[in-house]
Structure 1
Amino acid sequence: MKVVFLSHSPDTGTVRVGSHHLAREFARRGHAVFHLSTPLTAAHIGRVAKGDAVTLQRFSLLRRPRRGDAGDLHGVPWQFLPEAVIGRAWITGAGRHRHARRLLAAHGFSAPDVVLVDQPTMAGLALSLPSRALVYRPTDSHFHGVSAQHEALLVAASDAVIATSDTVLNRLPGAGSKPSMTLENGVEYDRFAAPSRAGQGFRYVGAIDDRFDWRTVYRLASALPAAEFRLAGPVTTAVGDPPPNLYYEGPIPYEGVPEFLAGGSVGILPLTDMRINDGRSPMKFYEYLASGLFVLATSSPALTARQAPGVSLFATPEEAVAMATALAAPGFNHEGQRFAKQYDWAARAALLEDFLTSRLQPAKFERP
């Protein structure tokens, strides 16, 4: 099959999201794959002038798509104005998304077999491509604004919906009438599976934004002054003055994450009470487990549904402190590591391929 992913994040080496892993694994399974991420616009030019590293990396993918180790292509299209400025007319207007379509056509993807979309604001491009099947792959719930408007168009036009949690799927208006499945995010198991050694301390890796519960993390670090709390990832929210045992490592390359996690014994997932957090399927959950870490996380519908060993879910800061105190000693989560193996991205891709070839008019698709 020729498969196009329309995703929110480019593969720049620092942030690795589910669509990047699925693109790689589909290529390994013999499919032709092109991964396009959210378009660059005139609004990004100022960031280039300021030397923003991530934006510069995205512009490099605009000039020349990069081929991954498995043969999957990664590129970024150009669009002069962002969707929020252009509005709905951009989606339905004729002759739109010229650069993205030219980019796809130049690499043989003018008429892909499957388009998998997880970025709602790329609905216009998705609807303009003459694909055999359009699949919406929501990774978050969208309650208002441009993303929610575009999501409604995607659901109406899609042939199927594949969500990363039951919560996201069940909240999605119109999804009940479509072929659907829940496919949680996974883990590169062999990359993260650490040797059996007992680390110590608490680790977090990922975005540190308004979804991240700073208040509980400060409470934990203050309650356990002898324990190290190390956080890695881009920060977009104010952090204030941290306790002396809380260390901020900054963004680290994806290749460095396994080593960072291997030094700890507990991976933390502190979530704020934003509705969007209810359905999140964070990859770090299985990356923690594959690394042999115990997991301490805020209770949410999506996380409560997972029955993984060595996972403690808290509803209040007081519960978090009690659980963290019990986990503070060095340790290794052997059962959790074994449990995570079934969520390897190769197995995730095989389930997705099976769904596409068996549920979506199977006569259209052939395995390579």
Structure 2
Amino acid sequence: MSAVTRETVPPAGRDDDLRRDLVVLSLEPWDEVWRRNQHLVAGLLATDPSLRVLFVEPPVDHLHDLRRGASPTLGRRLRRLGPDDGAPEGRAWAYRPTKWLPRRLDPAGDDRRARGVARVARRLGMADPVLWVNDPDGAAVLRATGWRALYDVTDDWLQAVREPAEHERVRAAEQVLVERCAEVVVCSPTLARTKGAARPVTLLTNAVDVDAYRTPVPRPADLPDEDYAVYVGTLHPDRLDVDACLRLATHLRATGARLVLVGPPLLDALDVTRLEAAGALLLGARPAALVPGYLQHAGALVVPHVVDEFTDSLDPIKLYEYLAVGRPVVSTPVAGFRDQPADRVTTASAQNLADAVVRVLAEPRPAGVGPAPADVPRWSDRVQEMAAVLARVRATR
């Protein structure tokens, strides 16, 4: 990844009308742990040679990093993406602003960062891009620019447990987005019902690269020698039921197996220590290309998620990844997983999850990739659907 200098920023020219410019305000950075935004944007770039993308990552927040015991994140500002990042050369950039102070001390910070996004877009020659908002804080950019926009809702943050002031701030930002965006896209049927009550929305669920997950790969060297159950995903306190994980890790350890957690750890330091003391193996984030190996060699794929109104709004990408691999799946009754037939997913309460996983691990079955349902959606299909949404947004004034 190379930093962008003035020499690498393309000047505006006579071909401006032939270009399709897109500014994406993402809830996650563009890194090796691919989520919905990266899959869709990379697919759009691959299928539309006229498309250029400015991918705006969440701001660096030094104080938040320090509060949760993490090392401060280094600001990366503007950088050019290329083939090593999964993007074509010269048509995609990532930009990460910095949040220097909490909002209560710097209430103008969101508007200042919004103006910064607009300046970076102009520097790249993006005079009239389409704005793709995934982060509700992107309402500030919409207000500052008036760009044609779509709101891609992947989490119902109004249902997350937050302080009243934060809840009201998010509510006001989402109201701006729902009222002013030309299109609203949602990732789950629950979001289609809640966000579609006031205006038309487009349901565009998540998906998986089926071929990548079904191609056998070697067992990763950092896995334990014993049998294991694995969870792949961000270890986020809004989603992961830490107490259920502790019970599961303890039960598995007693049977000679291990709980393996693969994904960026956003838990506080105490919860990480408790999980490791119970026998869980926390491997941290792994590049997306390596994830199939952790799933293909597992005795069970687990989803120890909290069950509440927030998780009911989600459409977990891991649902499609787990189904594509065809290994046994055991989950708490969360959205997506609880709707699957019993031959695909075993559901159990948080209190009974550990016993269910132990039973599944005791059942004899062939190793490696198992049978997968024929109806597992592919990212290539979702890319086409998002391209149609973007075309409708571009057609608006």
Q: Would you call these one fold, judging by a TM-score over 0.5? A: yes
2: CA distance, partners of 1:176 / 1:356: 22
Aligned to 1:70: 87
2: CA distance, partners of 1:101 / 1:117: 14
2: CA distance, partners of 1:147 / 1:306: 32
Aligned residue among 315, 318, 324 for 2:352: 318
2: CA distance, partners of 1:319 / 1:64: 44
2: CA distance, partners of 1:336 / 1:356: 32
2: CA distance, partners of 1:344 / 1:181: 17
1: CA distance, partners of 2:113 / 2:256: 58
Write the mapping of 1:230-249 to structure 2, written as runs, cut at 5 A. Answer: 230-235=260-265, 236-237=267-268, 238-239=271-272, 240=274, 242=276, 246-249=280-283
Shift of 1:301: 3.6
Distance 1:36 1:171, change over 3 A: same
Indicate yes or no: 2:244 matched with 1:216: yes
Aligned to 1:23: 41
The number of residue pairs the alignment matches comes to 347
Shift of 1:180: 1.1
Shift of 1:81: 4.8
Distance 1:334 1:362, change over 3 A: same
Helix, strand or coil: the match of 1:115?
A: strand
Which region of structure 1 is more displaced relative to structure 2, 215-224 or 253-262? 215-224
Aligned to 1:180: 201
Helix, strand or coil: the match of 2:169?
A: helix
Aligned to 2:103: 84
Deviations 1:97-154 (A, max 9, x none): 3321121122232311x3221100121113333433x111111112224323211211
Deviations 1:182-222 (A, max 9, x none): 21112222332233999953111222232211222333344
Aligned to 1:119: 135
Deviations 1:46-97 (A, max 9, x none): 79xx864xx23xx23x142324443252422435556834787667x7x873
Aligned to 2:186: 163
Give the letter for the 1:84 counterpart: R
2: CA distance, partners of 1:84 / 1:145: 13
Indicate yes or no: 2:210 matched with 1:193: no
CA contact (8 A) 1:41 1:81 kept: yes
- RMSD value, Cα: 3.4
2: CA distance, partners of 1:138 / 1:33: 19
2: CA distance, partners of 1:96 / 1:248: 34
Aligned to 1:256: 290
Give the letter for the 1:135 counterpart: L
Helix, strand or coil: the match of 2:153?
A: coil
Deviations 1:249-307 (A, max 9, x none): 23323332222222213211111234311122121221222233222111124433456
2: CA distance, partners of 1:90 / 1:51: 23
CA contact (8 A) 1:309 1:339 kept: no
Give the letter for the 1:102 counterpart: R
Write the mapping of 1:1-368 to structure 2, written as runs, cut at 5 A. Answer: 1-13=20-32, 15-30=33-48, 31-40=51-60, 43=63, 52=72, 55-56=73-74, 59-60=75-76, 62-67=77-82, 68-71=85-88, 73-78=92-97, 81=100, 84-85=103-104, 97-112=114-129, 114-132=130-148, 134-143=149-158, 144-172=167-195, 175-195=196-216, 201-210=228-237, 211-224=239-252, 225-235=255-265, 236-237=267-268, 238-239=271-272, 240=274, 242=276, 246-305=280-339, 310-318=344-352, 321-322=355-356, 324-329=358-363, 330-331=365-366, 334-336=370-372, 338-340=374-376, 343-357=377-391, 360=392, 363=395
5+ residue gaps, structure 1, are none
Aligned to 2:5: none
1: CA distance, partners of 2:208 / 2:290: 15
CA contact (8 A) 2:325 2:371 kept: no
Distance 1:215 1:280, change over 3 A: same
CA contact (8 A) 2:187 2:204 kept: yes
Give the letter for the 1:150 counterpart: A
Give the letter for the 1:231 counterpart: L
TM-score computed with the length of structure 1 as normaliser: 0.80
Distance 1:320 1:183, change over 3 A: farther
Distance 1:189 1:84, change over 3 A: farther
Identity of paired residues, percent? 24
1: CA distance, partners of 2:146 / 2:40: 22
1: CA distance, partners of 2:79 / 2:276: 42
Which region of structure 1 is more displaced relative to structure 2, 32-41 or 324-333? 324-333
CA contact (8 A) 1:191 1:258 kept: yes
CA contact (8 A) 1:279 1:300 kept: no
Distance 1:292 1:158, change over 3 A: same
1: CA distance, partners of 2:318 / 2:176: 30
CA contact (8 A) 2:307 2:334 kept: no
Helix, strand or coil: the match of 1:38?
A: coil
5+ residue gaps, structure 2, are 1-19, 159-166, 220-225
Distance 1:44 1:63, change over 3 A: farther
1: CA distance, partners of 2:128 / 2:102: 24
TM-score computed with the length of structure 2 as normaliser: 0.75
